[in-house]
Structure formats: C-alpha cells, structure tokens
Structure 1
Amino acid sequence: MKNQKIEVSIEKSNDGTYWGTSQNFEGIVTTFGNSLEELISNFENAFADHIEVAKDLGETYANKFDNVEFDYKMNLTSFFELVPELKISSIAKKANMNESLLRQYKNGLTTASREQTRKIQEAVHELGRELLSVQF
C-alpha cells in the first residue's frame, strides 16, 4: 500500500516553543514541543490519536492513513529565527536573489513563491555541505 504523505507546517514562537499544524486531510491536528524533536514526537502521537478517534466514529477516510509519512516544513521566518547565525547577505548571494527581498521573507513582510523557497533551500543546503566538508 502506498504511503499517505501528510504535510506539517512548523513554526517557532517567540518563547522558543515549536508548533506543528497539518490540515491536508479531514480535520486539523496541531501540537507543540519545547524542541523540534519533541514537536515531531508529539505531532505523530496527536495524529495517531486523531485517526483512532475517527475510526471509532466510523469515519471511512481514516482507513487510508494506515501507512502515513510526515513531511515537516518550516516557514522561512521561523527558519531564520531558528538559525540566527546565518547571514542573509550570504544566503541571498548563494541563492542569486536580492538581499532586501530575502530580508522581507525573513521578517514575514512578504511570502516567498515555491520557486524562491526552493532557491533559498538549495542555498542553505549548499552552505551546509560546505560546512560539513571543513576539517581542522
């Protein structure tokens, strides 16, 4: 049986709490955690509870979630809050995009398109590979 993919949007609040929400199925599941790992664990438990209740109520949609895979995605504002060490100018240069536009994404003043988000992600991954290649 094919895995059902559930997209989970992750945000980090000002107090450091992580929030995860998904609604790309019938119903909404949302939860929080004090760390990313705790959020993921809490979300998967909350989703399992949601499906169990739906099955108990005789909801037929719940049966298609026997094989579920979670796709955790963080919005850009939360990402840059999570990793404040990243320089916007460096990421913008690697992504070949306007630095002030990336600052607008970071500050939540405007929303990046899917293509812009992909370019930012690739730039961050490239930086990560460069950091992993360093040896002292």
Structure 2
Amino acid sequence: MQEFITLPVRIDWEEHKFGAQVKAPGFLLTTQGDTVPGVLENLRNLLIDYLMHEGKNHPEWQDITAEEIRFECEYDLAAFFEHFKELKISAIAVKAGINSNLLQQYVSGNKRASESQAKKIQAAVHLLANELRQVALS
C-alpha cells in the first residue's frame, strides 16, 4: 500500500480570485486562479517542477514523487462560501448558532472570526455534510 505525504493548502478569496499556498520544508508555493480545482492543478504543477529541480537538493524531498503527495485544503471563510456557492450563509449560521449578519461580516472580511467561532462554523458544515450523506432519494 502506497503511503502519502499530506500537505496543507491554504485557500483564500481576494479580488475575485482564489489564491492558494502550500508551505513545506524547503519551499513555499503560491498561485491564484478562477477556481479551486484550477489553483490546485497549478500547485501540483509547481510542486512537480520543484521536485524535478530544486527538490533534488533537499534530502527530505529526494525520491518523492508528486503522486505520493496529497493536498489537504483549508479555506478562509470567503473562499469557502465562494467555492461552495450551494451553501447559504444564513443556513450555516443557524446551524452554527451564530448571527447570520455576523457570519456575513466574517465572509466579507469586515470582521475576523475567532478560532472558536470558526470551529462552530466548521462543525455546522460537517453536521450538514453528515446529514446529506444519510439522504436517500426516490
């Protein structure tokens, strides 16, 4: 069974573009694009280039291929709701037990969510995902 290296990718939304960065020992890769799949593809291409060139000189990346690396996305709130447009901010706010206007301010960047508020929002999204997994349609 192949083992994978998981790298965290930060996804942001600024000036009507998705931005992404991945930081690991020896490199910091950044890119932007119109879609999350697009920025992840850009990152993968940058990573492949790094592994083929500069990475050969870093012991931790020698003999590692891009196929052995997985990205784990962490979204800022604006990027999350831009990428998952199907989700209503007001509905997630209700599930999270926070004021929908406050969540809208977090998403718009007018206010910054505390770690505990971000955890509430994340828990609400995961609760919704679990509920959706149990849906059967006929």
Task: Give the TM bin, normalised by the shorter chain.
Answer: 0.7 to 0.9
CA contact (8 A) 1:29 1:47 kept: yes
Q: Distance in 2 between matches of 1:134 and 1:24?
A: 41
Which one has the bigger strand percentage? 2
Once the two structures are superposed, the pairs formed by residues 52-71 of structure 1 within 5 Å of their partners are 52-56=52-56, 58-63=57-62, 65-66=64-65, 67-71=68-72
Q: Which runs of 5+ in 2 are unaligned?
A: none
| Distance 1:64-1:118 versus aligned 2 partners, 3 A rule | farther
Can you list the C-alpha shifts for 1:8-59, whole angstroms capped at 9, x where unaligned? 11123444x3321112432211123333222222211211211222234x22
Please name the residue that 1:33 is paired with: 33
Aligned residues between the structures: 134
* TM-score, length basis structure 1: 0.73
| Distance 1:64-1:103 versus aligned 2 partners, 3 A rule | farther
| Distance 1:131-1:5 versus aligned 2 partners, 3 A rule | closer
Please name the residue that 1:18 is paired with: 18
Please name the residue that 2:117 is paired with: 116
Q: Does 1:81 align with 2:67?
A: no
Aligned alpha-carbon RMSD (Å): 2.9
Give the letter for the 2:44 counterpart: E
Q: Which runs of 5+ in 1 are unaligned?
A: none
* 1:94 to partner: Cα distance: 0.4
| Distance 1:131-1:3 versus aligned 2 partners, 3 A rule | closer
